[in-house]
Amino acid sequence: MATTFRLIVTGGGTGGHTYPALTAVRTLAARLARSGDTLDVVWIGTADGLEARIAPAEKIPFAVVTTGKIRRYRNRLKMLSPTNLMDMARVPLGVAQARRIVSGFRPDVVLATGGYVAVPAGLAARMCERPLVLHEQTVRLGLANRRLAGSATRIAVSSESTLPLLPESARRNAVVTGNPVRPELLTGQAGRAVERLGLSGFDRRLPTVYVTGGARGAQQINDVVRDVLPWLLSHANVIHQCGPEKEEALRGETATLPPELAARYHLTGYVGTELPDVLALADMVISRSGAGTLAEVTALGKPAVFIPLATAAGDEQAHNARHLQRAGAAAALLGEVTPTTLRQEVEPLLLSPTRRATMAAQARVHGKPDAADRLVDVILSAAG
């Protein structure tokens, strides 16, 4: 007889927490459908987080709870700022709201993927005695998952390096799954990128570099790449995703490139459905080092030069980049970011296909293209 699996998913605020959760939901639904079963899911989030747009677009029922964002500072005394204290005071209300949702829905599992919104639902799962599965995308546990680790039935982590960082009491419940990536990212075609983006001026004898600062772009990356662009284009083709709001200014700043170099430079504000094909074409990536980017780059086995976001919570992007750099799976600018330091990291890779191949092989060692299926295994085992 067909059965219905009931799942509450919580987590969000940013794409780093939201998209792994969405990929897990899609993968679980597909797994159940192959057995003739169905998935009934509710997403708990905040009204202003990315999840508030993603869940309804996927036709997933969405429940809003109140919560507070705890801002982290190197000076611990600043943690007691009036803003933080006001946000902390909202958490009990959010827990009460989440508890009503959990007790009414009675899920087989609650999946929490991090972000401050995950705390109320995670605590509610413990109060209602429902299995709680945490998923951590970064090398170090985020603040929300650290708070919930003691209540978790299982903890799915993205890297083996995370295991020794867990509280000793939580390690026995931990399993390495990797960070889910969208399946379509693994099916790109390089030739299709050339057609879709009109890259007829690219010299296919040269390596292609994909530069990205994420959907909104990164001014720091745009500036440092702009300053090495003539040199970079003498050795490579470049696809530069700079952010929609930054495109006009950067297009003006690069308008004086010589025609033979300009033909090898494709500037765009945003890369959408073409992304799988762009990644297939790329021989190297220059980007931030968020958890989602690391998962994609390693799953595809792409050499990368990371420029971590210095203001990332808990300095997590630097930790992510350092983890792969130490393994020879990426290069990283962990100190001063200048045109000189960028060129020092990029040049050896551009000039040596052997170096790129070695780094790509090491990246694949750390990649887990089947992470979504591994996470679904954990969810189903927690329900059992």
- Which pLDDT value is given to residue 2? 76
Q: Is the pLDDT of residue 311 over 90?
A: no
- The pLDDT tens digits for 26-64 are 999 999 999 999 999 999 999 988 999 999 999 999 999
- Which pLDDT value is given to residue 89? 60
Verify that 194 and 294 share a domain, yes or no. yes
DSSP letter (8 states) at residue 187:
G
Q: Is the pLDDT of residue 68 over 80?
A: no
Verify that 25 and 82 share a domain, yes or no. yes
For residue 250, count other CB atoms closer than 10 A to its CB.
Answer: 21
Verify that 295 and 375 share a domain, yes or no. no
- Give the structural domain span for 46: 4-180+369-383
359, two tokens:
């780094």
222, two tokens:
């745009």
Verify that 11 and 157 share a domain, yes or no. yes
Distance (Å, whole) CA 269 – CA 274:
13
Verify that 271 and 159 share a domain, yes or no. no
Residue among 378, 354, 353, 364 at smallest CA distance from 330: 364
Verify that 230 and 116 share a domain, yes or no. no
Q: Is the pLDDT of residue 80 over 80?
A: no
CATH number of the domain encompassing residue 126: 3.40.50.2000
- Which pLDDT value is given to residue 69? 61
Model confidence, pTM? 0.87
Q: Is the pLDDT of residue 383 over 70?
A: yes
Confidence of residue 384 (pLDDT cuts 50, 70, 90): confident
Which are the contacts of 139, defined by CB distance < 8 A and separation ≥ 6? 158, 159, 161, 162, 165, 316, 319, 320, 323
Residue among 259, 261, 280, 260 at smallest CA distance from 271: 280
- Which pLDDT value is given to residue 76? 54
Average pLDDT over residues 154-168: 91
Confidence of residue 102 (pLDDT cuts 50, 70, 90): very high
- Which pLDDT value is given to residue 84? 55
Residue pair 152/381 in contact by the 8 Å Cβ criterion: no
Distance (Å, whole) CA 265 – CA 240:
8
Angle of helix 291-300 relative to helix 353-366, nearest 10 degrees, comes to 110
Confidence of residue 364 (pLDDT cuts 50, 70, 90): very high
Q: Is the pLDDT of residue 269 over 70?
A: yes
Distance (Å, whole) CA 241 – CA 280:
15
- Which pLDDT value is given to residue 371? 97
Where are the alpha helices (H) located in 35-160, listed in sequence order?
Answer: 51-57, 82-105, 118-127, 143-148
Distance (Å, whole) CA 206 – CA 193:
16
Distances (CA, A) of 71 to 17, 88, 147, 372: 17, 10, 15, 30
57, two tokens:
């677009």
- Which pLDDT value is given to residue 51? 94
Confidence of residue 92 (pLDDT cuts 50, 70, 90): confident
Verify that 222 and 337 share a domain, yes or no. yes
Angle of helix 371-383 relative to helix 15-34, nearest 10 degrees, comes to 70
DSSP letter (8 states) at residue 137:
-
* Range with the poorest average pLDDT among 134-148, 177-191, 345-359: 134-148
Q: Is the pLDDT of residue 319 over 60?
A: yes
Q: Is the pLDDT of residue 141 over 60?
A: yes
DSSP letter (8 states) at residue 277:
H
Determine the residue type at 120.
Answer: P
Angle of helix 339-351 relative to helix 353-366, nearest 10 degrees, comes to 100
Distance (Å, whole) CA 45 – CA 65:
6
What is the residue whose two structure tokens read 């009460």?
96
Average pLDDT over residues 315-328: 92
Verify that 264 and 320 share a domain, yes or no. yes
Verify that 221 and 155 share a domain, yes or no. no
For the chain, what is the domain count?
A: 2
C-alpha dihedral (32, 33, 35, 39), degrees to nearest 10:
40
347, two tokens:
């040049």
Distances (CA, A) of 210 to 23, 206, 337: 24, 13, 18
Give just the sign of the alpha carbon dihedral 88, 319, 134, 5.
positive
Verify that 310 and 325 share a domain, yes or no. yes
- Which pLDDT value is given to residue 90? 65
Residue pair 177/148 in contact by the 8 Å Cβ criterion: no
Verify that 132 and 259 share a domain, yes or no. no
Verify that 165 and 193 share a domain, yes or no. no
Q: Up-side HSE of residue 256: CA atoms within 13 Å toward CB?
A: 3
- Which pLDDT value is given to residue 14? 82
- Which pLDDT value is given to residue 211? 98
